[in-house]
Amino acid sequence: MTISKLLAITNLCKTFRLHIQGGVEIAVFNGLELTLARGEVLAVTGPSGTGKSSLLKLIYGTYRAGAGRIEVVHRGSVIDIATATPRLIGDIRRHTIGSVTQFLRAIPGVPTLDIVAEPLLERGEDAAKAKARAGGLLERLAIPPRLWHLSPVTFSGGEQQRVNIARGFAARAPILLLDEPTASLDPANRERVLAMIAEASAAGTAIIGIFHDAAARNQVATRTLALTSPP
């Protein structure tokens, strides 16, 4: 794996066993190969059930691979996420791989500003600088300061998604995983998020995203990966 590549997936295999369906096994990946370089925006496409979200979860370490390697450049070394310890995966999430999921996991009572600043604080960033960065992102995504001290649990779906996006972009991770980042957004906020993706790519962030909106995908993707169900 060359240093210009931030991610390299080799012979990735993953099978899910459905215990409530009599233990039937469903193969999602059987020998997937993938590399991702700095600044690339890879759009993952394919019908429902072909493993788009599962791929992101495998890279993030939420799911464990059945076989193969998922190598990332982390703190100057190449690490295989498929065999990494939970402690190392936690460190990779803090410093190397950021993630924006479809749903914000907010704890009641925790202010929105603190939720967005948390990835920076986990890195050891100065609290004032972390909150300034968080506030700037929230303002850019049209979350007004009068809401920052509130927990986002009562926000609208679109507001929660924008908080989620702000949190994912806060720490400027080298690799960023995006699962439907524009799905719940109005046109103005959709354009704001697409601009943020383009800026992150221009700064060297390697991005993998799922975009069901073809126009959004075509606007930011540098290439695509079309997934199909394995035979």
| Mean pLDDT, residues 132-145 taken together | 97
pLDDT at position 229:
77
Q: What distance, in Å, lies between the first and last C-alpha atoms of the chain?
A: 29
The reported pLDDT for the residue numbered 215 is: 92
Number of H-type helices and E-type strands within the chain: 7, 9
pLDDT band, very low/low/confident/very high, at 193 (cuts 50, 70, 90): very high
For residue 1, what is the DSSP state? -
- State the average pLDDT for the chain: 92
- State the burial class of residue 152 (Cβ atoms within 10 Å of its Cβ: 0-12, 13-18, 19+): buried
| C-alpha separations of 166 from 81, 125, 131 in Å | 25, 16, 12
What the chain holds in terms of domains, given with CATH numbers, is: 40-64+86-226 (3.40.50.300)
- Distance (Å, rounded) from C-alpha 224 to C-alpha 71? 20
**pLDDT over 90, % of the chain:** 83
Burial of 91 (0-12, 13-18, 19+ CB in 10 A): middle
Q: Give yes or no for residue 190 having a pLDDT over 90.
A: yes
pLDDT confidence of 131, banded at 50, 70, 90?
A: very high
Confidence label for 102 from pLDDT (cuts 50, 70 and 90): confident
How far apart CA 120 and CA 111 sit, in angstroms, is 15
Question: What is the rounded distance in angstroms from the CA atom of residue 59 to the CA atom of residue 34?
Answer: 11
pLDDT of residue 189: 95
Evaluate if residue 27 carries a pLDDT over 90. no
What pLDDT is stored for residue 26 in this prediction? 79
Q: Please report how many Cα atoms fall inside a 13 Å half-sphere around the Cα of residue 203, on the Cβ side.
A: 13
Mean pLDDT of 82-104: 94
The whole-number pLDDT of residue 49 equals 85
Asked if residues 18 and 195 have their Cβ atoms less than 8 Å apart, the reply is: no
pLDDT of residue 20: 62
Q: What is the rounded average pLDDT of the residues 135-160?
A: 95
**At residue 170, does pLDDT exceed 70?**
yes
Portion of the chain with pLDDT greater than 70, in percent: 95
Strand order in the sheet with 97-100: 97-100, 175-179, 206-210, 41-45, 223-226
